[in-house]
Amino acid sequence: MSTHLTTVAGVAVDTRHFIGGERIASTETFTDVSPIDGSVLAEISRGTAMEAAAAVAAAKAAFPAWAATPRAERARLLHAIADGVERRLEELALVETTDNGALLRSHRRGVMPRVAHNFRFFANWLLELDHEDFTTRGHTNHVTWDPAGPCVLITPWNAPLMLATWKVAPALAAGDTVVLKPAEWSPLTASLLADIAAEAGLPAGVLNVVQGYGSEVGDPLTAHPDVRRISFTGSVPTARHIAASAAANLTPLSLELGGKSPLLVFADADLDLAAGLAVEQYDNAGQVCLAATRILVEAPVAEEFTRRFTEKAAALRQGDPREESTDIGPTIHPRQLEKIDGFVRRALEAGARAVIGGHRGEGQYYVPTLLTDVRQDSEIVQEEVFGPVLTLQTFEDEDEAVRLANDTRFGLAATVATGDAERAARVTARLVAGTVWVNCFFVRDLKAPFGGSRHSGVGREGGTWSFDFYCDVKNTVTAPKGFKDHG
């Protein structure tokens, strides 16, 4: 077996970059470790400015032919990639779980099928993308979506392949070429995606994968003058750095950043439903940007809500994510575990009370935690923890609920639990959030716009919004006369 192949959960994964249709090794590597047991999975090629330049050059060279490829052919190739994902769904699920610690059952049943759906959805949307012509003083306006050029896509570690393909699929459908940089804590399924795309017949250079650290390979990618779009999902500090890097070239950005989303529980809500929604926020060990980590409960029902919540939380099983019965897996990395623990320790020292949890488990696990007696201006309420840590506060009326919900620098999502449809309409209209769920959570459709307000991001993606970003939207205005008759 090649020294550049590693076997993860019985699946062979190439540890090299994928540039211009070829596997390219770097002189140095970085170590990829499983969060499940701390075992070393692979030594991954560690990209530098040289690999960044090569990847952008390959994407630039491939762009004219790919941009000129008819929509139907681009759509066919995206469906072929989806077919490849479905054929290798079990392998992808096993590798992803081993690499990032999320539940195997979720990868099998939801996440990897969604990866395939990302490609199919944008392939189909491409074929339907249209804007009706309209007239201005007899002149015809015709709107088109023209491919923009090479794109740099930088993706996170909490749902690596699903969130990568949420960007890759619309960019390819739009006629752009792509340089994908996966997170260094979970790079393996991006490498498998490169194989799948090549097997599907995607032309060389249309999809490139470069691995490594942001400071070493991400910076030269985002600062490259030939890059026409940058899409990033991750933290606010990193987004600021990327935006500054892109500013010199005025490269358009799409940023999906953190959240500190509220769950508002009104006294007229179905409390069992509301408690279930709250416990659902522990999904993926709390490593979900959309998670409603701030639970706001109307005071008269706070005690009963807490009782129901703790009962449901007690039924959760934390352990090996490869086991069917596990509900909560490990934290992705020792550094992230230390960050989570630091947030909770400081909150407890400041007077917070742990209703449940409040401490580490064994290994790389953090026990699901609910903190109460927290101040609105405290760090634990204002800053994103990105772990299985929730806070509970009470409110007296609708105005206070909205004020508390909106009182952070974020605005990614919000959830409302109420039995009053009129109240739901009033409250949702006042909430600052890109997505609001009422009596439900995490119901998402690719046709809907997705993104955040305030420090939770810039721009919207999904449906036509994705094509608006990944394309140069053009309007052609034609006079009613002036053409010569060649008949």
Which amino acids are annotated catalytic? 256, 289
- Tell me the one-letter amino acid at 216: E
- Tell me the one-letter amino acid at 73: E
Residue 111: helix, strand or coil by DSSP? Answer: helix
Residue matched to tokens 């009613």: 480
Give dist(CA 202, CA 80) in Å, integer: 9
Secondary-structure percent of the chain, ordered helix, strand, coil, rounded to 5: 40, 20, 35
Contact 246, 75 (CB under 8 A): no
Sign of the torsion angle spanned by Cα atoms 444, 436, 160, 309 = negative
Contact 222, 419 (CB under 8 A): no
**DSSP letter assigned to residue 176:** -
**DSSP letter assigned to residue 110:** I
Residue matched to tokens 């459908």: 173
3-state SS, one letter per residue, for 402-443: HHHHHCCCCCCEEEEECCCHHHHHHHHHHCCCCEEEECCCCC
Residue 33's H or E segment, with its range, is: strand 29-33
CA terminus-to-terminus distance, the chain: 67
Give dist(CA 331, CA 286) in Å, integer: 9
**Which strands sit side by side in the sheet containing 413-417, from one edge to the other?**
353-356, 369-372, 389-395, 294-298, 262-265, 413-417, 435-438
- Choose among 109, 165, 354, 390: nearest CA to 261: 390
